Structure 1
Amino acid sequence: MGIERVERPLELKGELLGFVFRVYQGTGGAYPALEWVEEKPSTDDFEGFRKVYEPFLEFRLGKEFDELYVLREDGRIIGTVALVYNLEGKDVWWVPEEIKNEKTGLIEFFMVDPSYKGKGYGSKLLEFAVGRLKELGKEAYVITFPHLEAYSYYMKKGFTKVMDYGEFVVLKKES
């Protein structure tokens, strides 16, 4: 089981939508946060989820991610991670100006299917992403919500808090 680079991310949109919905269900609707949605769909409403998440996913796949990787088991996506490092000219309003520079590499869209939790897949994906950014000469950052389980996970993995930014928190991997 290896980490595969997705050359044409938009072609995987349907499969990724299903994967992200499984994460949404498995986290009881906590992730993705869908913070822009007034009334979040219930965790058994795929159609409602698709309606609010698909345009956002399409935007991210087509215009935001510089690289996308998936981890599969038996042909099924069980984990994802994306890298965003060409910040110039991108609508990344959620990235503070203080860290917008050519050395910044963001780890985004980092998820593992909750039914595979605790098997080391997240660590494998995260180490891969940090290593890939290092290869590119970038410093690894994560922008997340402080109330998510992911926050303490990143702290355990050697990230440190750089700053609060609105409702987000900015973390950086110390080399």
Structure 2
Amino acid sequence: MRIEKVEKPPELKEELLGFVFRVYQGTGGAYPKLEWVKDKPSTDDFEGFRKVYEPFLEFRLGKEFDELYVLRDEGGRVAGTIALVYNLEGKDVWWVPEEIKNEKTGLIEFFMVDPAYKGRGYGSILLEFAVQRLGELGKVPYVITFPELEAYSYYIRKGFTKVMDYKEFVEIRKK
């Protein structure tokens, strides 16, 4: 396994669409949540998934993420992803509360591990890497997630603490 920085995230869009769809399938459609979609695609409908997720992914790859990393398996396939967002000024990140939109905030986003690799510690490797990288940048690591997702309890087990509820999300941070 190796973590690599993606220098030109939009160029990885097709590979990431496939990866995120595998996550969607492996979580039974629970993640990504697709909260803006009224009729979610089934977990066997890649084209339906592409139709609703691709514009959002394009936005994230081109305008939101400040750094994107992928974890690749021995065969070069994406096994996990994690993104950092720390230049919040001027970005359309409506899910970020105004209280934390400052130069010290570093958001951990797009954190996913292919369910085929669950239980192997790859999530821990990615999360520790992101926390360390944000620390190098002088940022406080934050995550904004949904409280009902499995990821929320995972973050709590990894030393994050709840800061506040915000809209349908919960904001947590690493001390």
Q: TM-score category by the smaller chain?
A: over 0.9
Q: Secondary structure at the match of 2:58?
A: helix
| 5+ residue gaps, structure 1 | none
- 1:159 aligned onto 2:160: yes
Q: Distance in 1 between matches of 2:97 and 2:59?
A: 20
User: Which residue identity is paired with 2:112?
Assistant: M
Shift of 1:153: 0.1
Shift of 1:2: 1.3
User: Which residue identity is paired with 2:99?
Assistant: E
Q: Which residue of 2 aligns with 1:78?
A: 79
CA RMSD of aligned residues (A): 0.3
- 1:34 aligned onto 2:31: no
Q: Distance in 2 between matches of 1:164 and 1:150?
A: 16
Q: Secondary structure at the match of 2:33?
A: coil
Q: Distance in 2 between matches of 1:27 and 1:63?
A: 27
- 1:2 aligned onto 2:6: no
Deviations 1:52-75 (A, max 9, x none): 000000000000000000000111
User: Which residue identity is paired with 1:98?
Assistant: E
Q: Secondary structure at the match of 1:23?
A: helix
Q: How many residues align?
A: 174
Q: Distance in 1 between matches of 2:149 and 2:66?
A: 25
User: Which residue identity is paired with 2:44?
Assistant: D
Q: Which residue of 2 aligns with 1:50?
A: 50
Q: Distance in 1 between matches of 2:76 and 2:157?
A: 30
Q: Distance in 1 between matches of 2:140 and 2:2?
A: 24
**4+ runs deviating over 2 angstroms:** none
Q: Which residue of 1 aligns with 2:169?
A: 168
- 1:119 aligned onto 2:133: no
TM-score w.r.t. length of structure 1: 0.99
Q: Distance in 2 between matches of 1:137 and 1:2?
A: 24
Q: Distance in 2 between matches of 1:167 and 1:55?
A: 22
Q: Distance in 1 between matches of 2:10 and 2:32?
A: 19
User: Which residue identity is paired with 1:172?
Assistant: R
Deviations 1:36-67 (A, max 9, x none): 00000000000000000000000000000000
Q: Secondary structure at the match of 2:111?
A: strand
TM-score w.r.t. length of structure 2: 0.99
Q: Which residue of 2 aligns with 1:99?
A: 100
Q: Which residue of 2 aligns with 1:110?
A: 111
User: Which residue identity is paired with 1:42?
Assistant: S
Q: Distance in 2 between matches of 1:3 and 1:162?
A: 29
Q: Distance in 2 between matches of 1:58 and 1:154?
A: 26
